Amino acid sequence: MDEQRWLTVDLFSGHEGEAFEVTGDGAPQQTLVLTDVAASGVAGGHGPEGEEREQFSLLFRGPLEPLLPQATYRLDHADIGPVDLFLVPLAPRADGAVYEAAFA
């Protein structure tokens, strides 16, 4: 996988309702929709150049089948480009599976 970018809430803000394609080795090809970008207002860790980021979380909705197990997935977005996110499946809902990625 490529070198990781320092991901911040600003990178994802404004992209709610947009599609992210799950790609990568062995991952089932499917589309996840970013449904929520939530900033905590609490300072998080320091980046590679000492910059601090705010803690935040992302929620995605996808199809119920196949359910993605907890793991790191490459998601590709038209504007953001590819990002590797550790997704945790939450309780499924009638409108699809919900996944969370959290950043401290």
Whether the full predicted model's pTM is greater than 0.85, yes or no, is: yes
Residues 6+ away with beta carbon under 8 Å from 58: 12, 34, 36, 37, 38, 85, 100, 101, 102
Asked if 32 and 20 touch (Cβ cutoff 8 Å), the reply is yes
Residue-wise pLDDT tens digits, 47-80: 677 777 889 999 999 999 999 999 999 999 999 9
Is residue 2's pLDDT more than 50? no
Is 91 or 39 the better-scoring residue by pLDDT? 39
